[in-house]
Every structure is written in structure tokens, then in C-alpha cells.
Amino acid sequence: MEINLSCPNIPNKPPPAYSSFALQEYLFALQRNKILQDPDAHVLVGIKTPPYTYHDQFQNLIDALLATTADNLKCPVDFITATNTLGSCLVLSESEEFLAPSSEPGSFVPAAASASGTGIGGVGGAALHAIALGNVRTIRMMLDKHVRLAPIEIIGVGGVADYPGYARFLSIGAVAVGVGTALGKDGPRIFQKILAEVEVLQMLDKMQLRGNAGEKTMGKQIDPDGKVVEKDQMVNGVDET
């Protein structure tokens, strides 16, 4: 079970995991619940964190987790999902009318609606990938400094749309990887595509043909349905065979 402490769209309040006080409130409530829980009905429980951008935010998370382990209690958090969307972002329309040199100042058009009507909200996908990687790596290193927190595992989320993105998260300490934006865009076949890329690289490993990053697929490419095709058979992402 994942508890989302990172929603950027709570009216007049920050995501709970940005507030040291609110974070501890949730964690201690979780601790009390786990103490009363039937030990034979153990449910893995995790928290989802927002993108952290400076050291004190990470430290507040670690301090709150450590506080729940006082009196030799086990930390109630089994895993952390990092990271949710980054709030206060705005994507503008790229319509010809908006891009025209004659556009009036203030005539921008948001690319997507939002609850506030301003178009401002949380951004995910490729734009989030670098900060998500940084959060996963930083949290993993800080957890490992404490014996009581080291068992907590991390699920990496943010901008994964292919095998390299998936592999990056695993390489920095994530035990699992989530796919959100790409799933919304491409549907369940995104998983077939990622698995197909894994199979291609495994095949090339066996054939000892893997070279530098630009030669890994030896002129091949994965189409939207997860099939391996020659690159010149792809036109605008469509398999022309």
C-alpha cells in the first residue's frame, strides 16, 4: 500500500512530505497502526515523496523516519516511491497563433487545463527524469547511513519511456521502476516495448556485438508495438513493413 504524501494540488497547503511537522504526523499515525496490526496479516506500506531540491528537505525525511524507530521500534515504512510530479509548472500551447511574432503580451494559452484554471500544475514525464534520478540516488545514500533505515527499498518513478530510463533507476539503487506518463501516452504496450529492448540488448550481448551507446542496436529500433525493426523501416514512429 502506498500513501501519497506528495500531491502538489492540495488547496492552500504544501504536499505533506514538504512539511516536517505534517510528515511526522503521518508517520507516527502509521507507526501506531502497525503496532496494533495483526503480525500474520502484514501489509507492505510505503510513502510517495515529492521532488526534493535541497538538502534540508531530504534531511527532514530522514529525521522523520528515524523518529519512528525510537525505543527500538521498526520503521513503519517499507518502501519509498520517488518521485511525484513537480508542482507550479506551466506548459504553453505551441499553436501557430501563439507562436506568431505579432502575438500580444499575455496572450499565452496553456497546453492543458488545471483545477485553478491557470494551467499551472504538476509536471511529469521526460522533464522530471533528471530530478527523479537525483532524488532516488540521494535518498538511497542517506537511508544507507542508518542501520534502522537501510532496509527501506525505493521505487523509482519519473520519465521512464524506454529501457535506458528503466536501467538508470536500477543502477542507482531502485528495486522497481514505475511508468506513468508513457503509460498514459502509449498504453500497456509501453511495457512490451521496454521488454523488447531488454531482449535485443541481451541478444547482442550473446553475440558479442555491443559496442558504444550509438551502436547497441546495430541499426535496429523498437517500434511502438515492441517489435524489432530496421531503423529505415520507421517513419514518424510507424512501422512501414
Whether residue 170 contacts residue 184, with contact meaning beta carbons closer than 8 Å, is answered with: no
CATH 3.40.50.300 assigned to 1-85+124-186: no
- Does residue 174 surpass a pLDDT of 80? yes
Q: Is 153 helix (H, G, I), strand (E, B) or coil?
A: strand
Cell 497546453 identifies what position?
111
DSSP labels for 164-184? HHHHHHHHTT-SEEE--HHHH
Tens-place pLDDT, residues 60-102: 999 999 999 998 899 999 999 999 999 889 988 876 555 555 5
Q: What is the pTM of this model?
A: 0.81
Q: What are phi and psi for residue 177, nearest 5 degrees?
A: -135, 135
Tens-place pLDDT, residues 8-37: 878 788 899 999 999 999 999 999 887 777
Residue spans in the chain of domains classed CATH 3.20.20.70:
1-85+124-186
